[in-house]
Structure 1
């Protein structure tokens, strides 16, 4: 007897009931009758192919096979159940060896170690890229302010307020950021299919993620633009015209 998942059921019996059908799993495997169907799950790791089906066999049919025992408990501290579980198993078979005793949370953490390392590494590179972008934007706007010193001096001489000059320079940075965000969103949607397989537990087109990322980038742009914009508000008309 065997129990298969919905993936195998749809693969081999797409238009009929698999219950009662026969299946084997290799040249040396006997034919077994399907007695149940369960939902598909990733049994080996989170990276397992979602198209890969799996099956369950009764331990009594294959006593030489290794296996795992999963114990469900209502305890808020399942790690404290290890001693009781070991005692219960030894009462049944004192010679039965026990190893790799972990909570489900510990097993999930072990499965995610590689991904979490990549997340930390990519976050560091993303932070470095954001810093370099901010420095580059600061340099571009500072250079632009230097080139427009005469213009800014004339604006102030004609009655422009410091707030007007500040908004003028900050607006330049915001326009650059808006263009960058637009191109970035287009690239995100274009590359979405290729990147979707690398994500777990989050959608590539999650509105909250896109909004928070955009806010972070805009805040970085405003911060990088503020210093040269603040310097521009301190331009004295006479000094600016004399320098030119």
Structure 2
């Protein structure tokens, strides 16, 4: 007599492992992921209603410099706290007529420069935390599909949060010129210059763009770009914790998906 799929002892063992995973292990792994995310939240701006005493976000005085070690044409010293840059001094060389001049400007301490990337990463982080903490299945989950859908939502939020820090979006020329953060500079920079602070993984970067009319298109274009940067430890730690949480989510999802194949009733 042939052994049917239902009677296959190997299949039955896999089903039992899936049941054990759903009833006993999923919530433990989610608690571990939640702990990682709360640790990550200590590196990012605190949300209202959360304990600020656990936050590691402190004002830091940072010197941004050229990566090649040269003096460069841009110098910058700023104070960074979370998603805000304040109390900054910036100088850069720019051409006026036939001569090169050093132009100096400062960030108005009363009107800080906001890093939207950090704010976006914070929003996505807390979204992932809320998705996990909204679950009330300490006695176990009823199906693999239920867990996979939950993990997909968490993974989506974490991917967007990490990407906000690790992969800055390229700004258009219009976005550079009309960036509202430029209003924090005193004195204002010349009309043919645009500044942009942004985050790239563990680094804070300042790019200075010199603009001019393109001889071919007769439109405003970027003539040159100079940048200075500085490594920021808490940014590096935040990206690493996002990555760790994503890995744990994916490992759990892969295991559930594998075991689901032997449980068509899920």
Greater relative contact order: 1 or 2 (C-alpha under 8 angstroms, separation 6 or more)?
A: 2
TM, length-normalised to structure 1: 0.27
| Structure showing greater Rg | 1
Higher share in strand = 2
